[in-house]
Amino acid sequence: MSEHPERPEYSENDVQREVTELEGRSATAARLFDIRRIIGGLFVLYGVIVTITGLTDGDAAIDKAEGININLWTGLGMLLLGLFFLTWLKLRPTAPPPPQKTPESH
């Protein structure tokens, strides 16, 4: 009786194929979770919320900020920053995954 249970044998092609698949998945995850997408999305979301708050502020809130509608200006600034990040992502996307190499037949 053998001390080690039988393990399947993997060829070099099997290992190379598995590595290629993992590299492709990694590149896809990197594009999906690009920090610019997350930051841009959050700034746009919060910018919309703060801008709406600024548009609906009463005179008391504006007087409290010494006559400046701070929520409106902050919301617009957040919207612009979020749109900047999303535009940057669109103009300079992450690098595509490297082309898959096909194993050469001998």
pLDDT in tens, 32-86: 678 888 999 999 999 999 999 999 988 898 899 899 999 999 999 999 999 999 9
Per-residue pLDDT, 54: 93
- For the record, the structure tokens of 98 come out as 């490297």
Distance CA 23, CA 9 (A): 22
* Residue of higher predicted confidence among 68 and 106: 68
Distance CA 100, CA 93 (A): 20
Beta strands in 23-94, from DSSP E residues, in sequence order:
none
Distance CA 57, CA 103 (A): 65
Q: What angle do CA 70, 71, 77 make, to 5 degrees?
A: 90
CA trace torsion 50, 53, 54, 59 (10° rounding): -150
Distance CA 37, CA 87 (A): 10
Per-residue pLDDT, 11: 78
